[in-house]
Amino acid sequence: MLGVVRQKMLGQSFPKIRPAVSVLRSYSSAAKQMTVREALNSALDEEMSADPKVFLMGEEVGEYQGAYKISKGLLEKYGPERVRDTPITEAVFAGIGVGTAYYGLKPVVEFMTFNFSMQAIDHIINSAAKSNYMSAGQMSVPIVFRGPNGAAAGVGAQHSQCYAAWYASCPGLKVLTPYSSEDARGMLKAAIRDPDPVVFLENELLYGEPFPVSDEVLDSSFCLPIGKAKIERVGRDVTITAFSKMVGHALKAAEILEKDGIDAEVINLRSIRPLDRSAINASVRKTNRLITVEEGFPQHGVGAEICASVVEESFAYLDAPVERIAGADIPMPYAANLERMAVPQVEDIVRAAKRACYRSVPLAAAA
């Protein structure tokens, strides 16, 4: 019944986008709402409960209840042996995490933000990603590196970088970027269960956002497959790929485009490595136009890889050049107006989609 109500209201087959909260509440009073924070917390809790080898390590994950409260309550429940507060020493605690994974434990290492992961990047790449290959399979590394990635609000250049492209270029790593609470739960559980090193890129601004979750999602065995994208919105005219916070922007852009008669298909990539090239290409073969959206720096970014993949696999299907929307090619400024210009906005995605559809409105005529 609820599904029918949602369908009527939103006019779509997948009620996964989030309209105004009050609207949803009035129609779906029985549907459970869960914030991304709660989703991550419950996923960690369930995986730690199911497997005694899983433990959490990072700065402020214990007594502070987590810098962003993701690990709230876990110290009380599992004790200081399994929820370890570390000193501010990323290099060693990432290395220790990898060492425990060599031995057979299943560490979840939290970086307070991925900006600090650069202090530990040698361990992520050289000690974790490459070990299974160099040892011809003797040394698998079942570790998860997780934490907020990308821009927050007003935190400046050193605290705003998106690391998806850097980590996703490295064979041996898996790189995941959840958007909704369903993504957060299903993918964190999959990541913890996966025998390979996973870089799990969350987003601080999404932590507090509620999403509807079904009973299936709430079940402790719920798990999403790694390497599969999700079609958040089915469309005909143009494909928009996005990940993490940008999925929300892409969905809003799709609503706006709909009013102009452009039916956009929005793909939530979910997994940057492995990249779901078949889903992306299948979509482009249907729509013939592609916009890639990401928050990170544009040069050598995720969109560049997607564009190359589509040109290689589906060149004949493209009716327009691939458009890339990305963060500005500058360190992140602090002033609010400049910051706004440094990160993709909904109107950027709308404009690019119109260009791809040869429906650009000249600047002079813009409303």
Q: Which is nearer to another protein, 138 or 221 (CB)?
A: 138
Least distance in angstroms from the C-beta of 50 to another protein? 17
- Interaction of residue 243 with another protein, rule CB under 8 A: no
- Interaction of residue 87 with another protein, rule CB under 8 A: yes
Least distance in angstroms from the C-beta of 124 to another protein? 11
- Interaction of residue 321 with another protein, rule CB under 8 A: no
Q: Which residues are catalytic?
A: 90, 159
Residues 156/334, Cβ–Cβ less than 8 Å: yes
- Interaction of residue 135 with another protein, rule CB under 8 A: yes
Q: In the set 22, 30, 81, 366, which binds another protein (CB under 8 A)?
A: 81
- Interaction of residue 98 with another protein, rule CB under 8 A: yes
Question: Which residues between 180 and 219 bind another protein (CB under 8 A)?
Answer: 194-196
Q: Are strands 106-110 and 144-148 parallel, antiparallel or unpaired?
A: parallel
- Interaction of residue 277 with another protein, rule CB under 8 A: yes
Q: In the set 12, 132, 169, 214, which binds another protein (CB under 8 A)?
A: 132
Least distance in angstroms from the C-beta of 105 to another protein? 5
Tokens of 57: 């390590």
Q: In the set 22, 29, 138, 299, which binds another protein (CB under 8 A)?
A: 138
- Interaction of residue 174 with another protein, rule CB under 8 A: yes
- Interaction of residue 91 with another protein, rule CB under 8 A: yes
- Show the 3-state SS of the chain: CHHHHHHHHHCCCCCCCCCCHHHHHHHCCCCEEEEHHHHHHHHHHHHHHHCCCEEEEECCCCCCCCCCCCCCCHHHHHCCCCEEECCCCHHHHHHHHHHHHHHCCEEEEECCCHHHHHHHHHHHHHHHHCHHHHCCCCCCCCCEEEEECCCCCCCCHHHCCCCHHHHHCCCCCEEECCCCHHHHHHHHHHHHHCCCCEEEEECHHHCCCEEEECHHHHCCCCCCCCCCCEEEECCCCEEEEECCHHHHHHHHHHHHHHHCCCCEEEEECCEEECCCHHHHHHHHHHHCCEEEECCCCCCCCHHHHHHHHHHHHHHHHCCCCCEEECCCCCCCCCCHHHHHHHCCCHHHHHHHHHHHCCCCCCHHHCC
- Interaction of residue 139 with another protein, rule CB under 8 A: yes
Q: Which stretch binds another protein (CB under 8 A): 29-37, 170-178, 250-258, 321-329?
A: 170-178
Tokens of 239: 């494909």
Q: In the set 37, 47, 48, 55, which binds another protein (CB under 8 A)?
A: 55
- Interaction of residue 94 with another protein, rule CB under 8 A: yes
Q: Which stretch binds another protein (CB under 8 A): 22-30, 43-51, 130-138, 318-326?
A: 130-138
- Interaction of residue 234 with another protein, rule CB under 8 A: no
Least distance in angstroms from the C-beta of 136 to another protein? 4
Binding site for another protein (CB under 8 A): 55, 81, 84, 86-87, 89, 91-105, 122-123, 126-127, 131-140, 142, 171-172, 174, 194-196, 225-227, 274, 277, 312
